[in-house]
Chain A
Amino acid sequence: MRFFNCLIFIITCALIGCKNEENRVVINTTSPDGHAFSFMPIYEKGVTDITIYIAWPTDWAYRETTNKAVPFIGAQAILSGGTADITPMELMESFNDKNSSGSLMPTADYVFGQLSFPKEYREEVIQTASEMLHTPIFEEKWIGRIKQQITDNMARTYAQTPNLLWRVVRQATLGDVPVNDYLNLADPSEISAVDVSMLRRWHKETFTQSNLKISVTGAISREDAGRSIDQLLRNLPKGEQMQSPAAKADFSPRKLYLHVPEAEKTTLALIGALPPTSDGKDAQDF
């Protein structure tokens, strides 16, 4: 059986060229267009999928004059709008047929994008995703639907008293800074004020080729991984060397009270900083 496994591995390597990379070993490398990326191939029986992660740095949440709801609405609109040639429904069903998926998750510091697909659909999926990233369809009706959904989600969150506590915690640890408005997203008028021009500005500023953190893993060679990244990003503007400003949190001891007269119960929270996962302590919160 071990002989057969070795044989299958050799066949796989002969087909996709994995001579220089070891299975499940991370290397740092560069694509033909010069994008640095981390790469971990998985050459194992039954593993056919590939996943690409890209983190676009952003300072949108930290700026005084930006509308803080824009990244949330924009990310959803890019994913929901389809492309110039493919309707939203066709796009969803096409990805489902290919057992593929994509996501965009905006945070205060980065917009995280993920694209997963079986290796046989690599070309098609990346081409579609590239179009969505480069030329998103910001259609008014979809934007209205997304705005309503996010408004409801936030109202639902703050309808539960314990969730109000997190606003106090943010205020206490971060102070009175714009990123608080982004993290709280408590004002519905901020959401309703978003228009297409804001989304286009955010899209243009955010989705560039500069200063990205990229990783690729799965059933793919280093060469194909580099080519895939280039194909995905090539049409985006070069952009500026943006750095996301890290927020400084203050966890010095203190007591805070939030008076909510209509609350039926009192909620108590104890907050402290966990060691950073970069120290290798991510398994401690088990």
Chain B
Amino acid sequence: MKKIIVFSVGLIISGSLVFLTMHDPVLDMPDPVVRINFPSFKAVYLIPNRTSDRVDTHLIFQNGEADNPYNEGLMHYVEHLTWLNATQDSDFDDLGHSNAFTTLLSVAYFVTGTKDSFQSDLNQLLKVLELFSLNQQFMEEERKIILREYDYSARENPHFSMDASLDKLLFQGSVRGRSILGAPRDIEEFSIQDAKALHSATHRLQDAVLVIYGPINKTRSDAALADLSLPAFSAKSQDIEFPSLPKDVINTEQDVSIDHLVSPRIIFRKLVSAPFCPEPSICQIKLDLLISFLDSGLPGGLAGPLRFDSFTARNFSLHANYLDRTTIDIQFSAEPDTGISLLSLQQAFDSAWRHAIEQGIPEDSFQRIKSRYIAGVDGIIDPHTYAREKLIQALIERQTYIPLEIERLIASETTLKDINSVLKHFDQPGRQIILRATPSKE
């Protein structure tokens, strides 16, 4: 027994020496994302993962509904037509999975296949650049498919109409307020000529970002890219442009009656000006720490007074995001407990919100939130998948990808003063809307 203990201690000491010569278990790992220099595209990223049995290939155009000068929702229609056009050949062997999606700032196409199908999947993806050769009637009928999509996801969804009207008010005059799906009347009137023009303007190789994930190494990806025989554009990476936002202050409260709404709900939205942030992705990490605190039941947070100390809010959600380098979009939404009116809930929120801003985050609460965040980062056991999700999310939001080790570093170096200085800005005049929504009588 003694020998075993001595042996174990010896190993522990040796182990400590090993760890002294290595970095942190997370930090010593090189980031899985590799930037590949291939001038035909705006950018190419490779995330080699030899343990994966599938290859995911994304082609992302950083042009979305915000870049559509035609009827609202046309970019989504273009995405449908583009993918149908690219996959109409019978030789498209979609044994894996493929799909496309449109957001306010991007449109993306992806194919999931195997190592063996990688080259053909890549060829398939690049067909989204081709001009539409679909039958005219077929393209017209696709408008009805989008109407069905509207029926399924929006028509009986009360949150769709609430969010849409809030966005219109909040982002008045800005493309940020545009609807990605469009209204039924817009969808019915989509022009194929406009769709073709929008496709040509937004689906260009030099605007495309390619992301490859899976058991593909750099040699293999270089060979596959060289095989494409694409022209080299020497595309210059341009500064990321965010849609402009209205700056005038508003402070509006509305009572609205909403079809299909089941329970009363209060929604608070506010755009606030924050100190200039050169890199919103980095500032977002600090903002996430702040929101984790406000969302919690820790001393100074909102969950205590709203959810636990008294039965006021049955559930609530709180989010905040940088929309550009100086603007934060804050969203709070809650449903009142039985016997609590929307006005009472609003007063309770207002009181807890002001108290949090005036008092700032207590030191102990801040340290707990920070520790949780860092433990969450250290607990990521699949950094390749995490990197893929983070990279794609950053690209479709036109933000900069932040490697995991940088994310950890920023979180660990964030101070209470940093966070409280952002919190102070939440109380500044901005564009504020409070919606008190009740179910319609029907």
Known: A89-B308, A97-B372. A145 touches B14 (CB 8 A): no
How far is A158 from B372 in the complex, measured between Cα atoms in Å?
A: 38
Q: Which of B286-302 contact A (CB under 8 A)?
A: 296-298
Count, chain A residues at interface, CB 8 A: 38
A159:B262 contact, CB within 8 angstroms: yes
| Cβ-neighbour of A156 out of B11, B155, B262, B372 (below 8 A) | B262
- Which of B32-40, B166-174, B375-383, B429-437 lies at the binding interface? B375-383
Q: Which residues of B contact A148 (CB under 8 A)?
A: 263, 314, 337-338
Q: Does B304 contact A (CB under 8 A)?
A: yes
User: B376 and A11: CB pair below 8 A?
Assistant: no
Q: Find out whether the CB atom of A141 lies under 8 angstroms from the CB atom of B371.
A: no
8 Å CB contact of A265 from B7, B155, B379? B155
Assess the B151–A265 pair: CB atoms within 8 A: yes
**Across the interface, do A11 and B337 meet the contact criterion of CB distance under 8 Å?**
no
Known: A144-B338, A265-B155. A152 touches B262 (CB 8 A): yes
A29 within 8 A of partner (CB): no
Contact mask B300-329 → A, CB, 8 Å, 1/0? 000110011101001100000000000000
Give the distance in Å from the alpha carbon of A10 to the alpha carbon of B7 in the complex.
11
Is the CB of B246 closer than 8 A to any CB of chain A?
A: no
Beyond A10-B11, A88-B308, A152-B262, whether A46 also contacts B381 by CB under 8 A is: yes
Pair A160/B156 contact, Cβ less than 8 Å? yes
Chain B residue numbers with a CB within 8 Å of A96 are 296, 372
Within the complex, which residue of B8, B152, B155 is in contact with A15, where a contact is CB–CB below 8 Å?
A: B8
User: A38-62 vs B: 1/0 string, CB under 8 Å?
Assistant: 0000001111110000000000000
Instruction: Give the chain A neighbours of B304 by CB distance below 8 A.
Output: 89
B157 — nearest CB in chain A belongs to which residue?
A: A160
Is B262 within 8 A of A89, CB to CB?
Answer: no
**When the two chains form their complex, are residues B338 and A4 in contact, meaning their CB atoms are under 8 A apart?**
no
Contacts across chains A and B counted by CB atoms under 8 Å: 87
B298 touching A93 by the CB < 8 A rule? yes
CA distance A266 to B393 in the complex (A): 35
Q: In the docked arrangement, what's the CA distance between A46 and B262, Å?
A: 45
> Contacts A118-B379, A162-B152; is A8 near B314 (CB within 8 Å)?
no
Cα–Cα, bound, A48→B157 (Å):
42
**B18–A7 CB distance below 8 A:** yes
- Which residue of A is nearest B152, CB measured? A162
Question: Measured between C-beta atoms, what is the minimum distance from B261 to chain A in Å?
Answer: 8
Q: How far apart are the CA atoms of A141 and B298 in the complex, in Å?
A: 22
Contact A49/B379 with A93-B297, A155-B262 known, Cβ cut-off 8 Å = yes
Q: How far does the alpha carbon of A110 sit from the alpha carbon of B152 in the complex, in Å?
A: 32
Q: Is A87 an interface residue (CB 8 A)?
A: yes
Q: Which residues 264-286 of A sit at the B interface, judged by CB distance below 8 A?
A: 264-265, 286
In the complex, how many angstroms separate the beta carbon of B364 from the nearest chain A beta carbon? 11
- Say yes or no: is A149 at the interface (Cβ < 8 Å to chain B): yes
CA of A88 to CA of B304, assembled, Å: 10
Q: Which B residues touch A7, using CB under 8 A?
A: 11, 14-15, 18
A48 CA to B379 CA, complexed, in Å: 7
Verify B372–A161 contact, CB threshold 8 A: no
Residues of A within 8 A of B311 (CB): 141, 145
Flag if B308 contacts A87 (CB, 8 Å): yes
Q: What residues of chain A lie closer than 8 Å to B260, measured between beta carbons?
A: 159-160
Q: Which A residues are CB-close (under 8 A) to B376? A: 99
Judge whether B69 is part of the interface by a CB distance below 8 angstroms.
no
A92 contacts partner chain B, Cβ-Cβ < 8 Å: yes
B23 is an interface residue with CB less than 8 A from chain A: no
Output the least CB separation between A174 and chain B (Å): 25
Taken together as a complex, chains A and B put the C-alpha atoms of A148 and B263 apart, in Å, by: 10
Q: Which of A11, A48, A89, A118 is the one whose CB lies under 8 Å from B15?
A: A11
- The interface bits of chain A over 1-36 (1 if a CB of B lies within 8 angstroms of the residue's CB, else 0) are 000100110110011000000000000000000000
Q: Which residues of B contact A149 (CB under 8 A)?
A: 314-315
Using CB atoms and an 8 Å cutoff, list the residues of chain B in contact with chain A.
7-8, 11-12, 14-15, 18, 22, 25-26, 96-97, 112, 148, 151-152, 155-157, 260, 262-263, 296-298, 303-304, 307-309, 311, 314-315, 335, 337-338, 368, 371-372, 375-376, 378-379, 381
A-B contact pairs, 6 of them (CB 8 A): A48-B379, A89-B309, A93-B297, A96-B296, A149-B315, A161-B156
